[in-house]
Chains A and B, each alone.
Chain A
């Protein structure tokens, strides 16, 4: 696909916070632990199906551990973000990668959210929505102070931009 004027999307300038890797990893481990524990407890209690339940628990644990070992660092390499004077530009994903661009003039709301795990790692997620029902942009894994500053900056910029954003 290399022609005379071949172009591609450049990576956004900023990486997410390094603590995001640990956050993602803990989240994966937590979501793996729940079914594994349930299956293991059931396996311990239900005699006839013990071997099947324990095998299932082992399989889920193996997949979960594999993901936790492998995915977060991949995500960290891919997840990048950038806010210019004109637009918000974000890259996410791993196997399926996604670049999202929303111009400042079309941004309607800017929210920050912090789940319990994110609070533990002092991280926050900034969600930028536009008038489109499918155009929301999420920047996850930002340092919470940086996220608060970013949300404030975006709010100021979008309020200063005229138009009804549709």
Chain B
């Protein structure tokens, strides 16, 4: 930071207000939510009294709630002010009790902008400033809700650009690591989002029809459509319909999420993801916060040879704050080669660590997975069979059918899960891979490993395998190496992170005497 800028920053200690249109945006949003809630309530009330009366009640209640909101939002706006000083960023807010929060500028690691369609109409953005620390109570983030886009961008640059002055911005130079390729959309319908959306759509149809007391008619109507076909075909038809709806929904969601996607490296050592069709998001990630990369391949996406890239960074808490889970995604599902290339570029590595050859796990790991597979099929089948013997022979046929169909599927999953297991070291990174429905390859900086946890169940002790868990400050907090060979796994862990595990290892006496 140059001398002038420092002085400027020091003097820039006036308290600033949010944009006044914040009140309008929030009231409009609340009015929308209110209208959405009021309709079903009105129809619900209309069951016991005349329609006009129900609507009058609801309208009165809504008007009152709206008035309260207007007052509350105005008070909140008047009481909210923020200040970006040289040392600290401060925010005073609160409706009844004034909350004062301040973050040391040195500790600020992220400044993310989001704007939903309504906010975009008014040219406003929400700015989240985070320190990237795991604290209970979430005291480590400030949220400016809302400021103008220009002010948001200015603050983002000011807060994150520590070395901007030394590395002048070059508008002509293209720092993009990846930009949207519309062909990537072909991986959208094979994600797990599609069936979930399909199920949700079917559920929503039922729920809405129930509000209007028309659920029976809807079911009858569906029954009429399928009058000429047998029940199994009707079920197949409905499932196909829901799947198609889910696929369309997934495509739509993908476009919403990833439109205008751009992953770029910014001066000042940050990686920035900006994307979004209606709701625009800009997520900045300081590179020194980055501890690694996770290459995620959900089953459908993996079968199409694609993978998603997530960041493993400190301060992107996964648990507790569900709203921000998608912040860690750096790249949507794309072809595996592109994913590897982008992963390497983000980490500034010549070769992608996620593509490194990995050591396979001992056969005992496969036996274990096959065992689980057979148990997971065997137990329900056995229950069905016992019930069949006691109640009706139909269940016996169902049990036999389940056993015949599910056993090969389970065995296939087990073998695939075993094939997915692997661990290794690639340069400065510890790489571990596991999972079948959601295969994840994690490349974690070896210097980012801040502890080891070794777990061994009774069965694992007998099979001579163990599960190693590298704990880290970043991402999920811990990454597993499942069912590695006892001796080989420990040697590997001791080698991957020097001087951490080694002092606690001892040679196994040749006359094998297992510990308690």
Contact = CB atoms under 8 A, between A and B. Distances in A.
Interface stretch (B85-93, B146-154, B484-492): B484-492
A99 B503 CA distance: 13
B516 interface: yes
A101 B500 contact: yes
Interface residues of A, number: 37
Given A135-B478, A166-B473, A101 B516 contact: no
Interface string A88-109: 0100010111111111001000
Interface stretch (B118-126, B396-404, B449-457): B449-457
Contact of A130 (B451, B500, B504, B512): B451
Contact of B454 (A99, A102, A132, A134): A99
Given A1-B486, A10-B504, A134-B471, A97 B455 contact: yes
A7 B477 contact: no
B504 A135 contact: no
A135 B451 contact: yes
A21 B504 CA distance: 26
Given A77-B516, A132-B472, A134-B471, A9 B504 contact: yes
B506 interface: yes
Nearest to B491: A7
A5 B487 contact: yes
Contacts of B314: 131, 166
Interface in B465-516: 469, 471-474, 476-478, 485-487, 490-491, 494, 499-501, 503-508, 510, 512, 515-516
A2 B469 CA distance: 23
A152 interface: no
A12 B507 CA distance: 15
A135 B457 CA distance: 19
Tell me which of A11, A86, A97 has the highest count of chain B C-beta atoms within 10 A of its own C-beta: A97
A74 B464 CA distance: 21
Contact of B515 (A8, A98, A132, A135): A8
A135 B451 CA distance: 7
B186 interface: no
Contacts, number: 130
B458 to A, nearest CB: 5
Contact of B450 (A2, A7, A99, A165): A165
A39 B486 CA distance: 45
**What size tier do the contact residues of chain B reach?**
35 or more
B324 interface: no
Nearest to A10: B506
Contacts of A12: 504
B376 interface: no
B100 interface: no
Given A132-B471, A133-B317, A135-B477, A106 B506 contact: no
Interface in A58-112: 74, 77-78, 84, 86-87, 89, 93, 95-103, 106
A48 interface: no
A144 to B, nearest CB: 26
Contact of B500 (A87, A96, A131): A87
Contacts of B209: none
A7 B455 contact: no
Contacts of A11: 515
Contact of B452 (A10, A96, A101): A101
B508 A101 contact: no
A78 B471 CA distance: 22
B450 A135 contact: yes
A9 B450 contact: no
A6 B454 contact: no
A36 B508 CA distance: 46
B508 A131 contact: no
A1 B477 contact: no
A103 B448 CA distance: 12
Contact of A166 (B450, B454, B485, B512): B450
A1 B464 contact: yes
Given A95-B458, A133-B317, A135-B478, A87 B453 contact: no
A63 B452 CA distance: 34
Contact of B453 (A74, A78, A100): A100
Contacts of B450: 102-103, 106, 130-132, 135, 165-166
A3 interface: yes
B458 A9 contact: no
Given A1-B486, A77-B516, A101-B452, A132 B508 contact: no
Given A6-B508, A77-B516, 17 more contacts: A1-B464, A6-B507, A8-B487, A8-B515, A9-B506, A96-B458, A98-B453, A100-B454, A101-B504, A130-B451, A130-B473, A132-B472, A133-B476, A134-B471, A134-B477, A135-B477, A166-B473
Interface of A: 1-3, 5-12, 74, 77-78, 84, 86-87, 89, 93, 95-103, 106, 130-135, 165-166
20 contacts: A1-B486, A5-B487, A5-B507, A77-B516, A86-B499, A95-B457, A95-B458, A96-B455, A96-B456, A97-B461, A98-B456, A99-B454, A99-B455, A100-B453, A101-B452, A102-B451, A103-B450, A130-B471, A133-B134, A135-B451
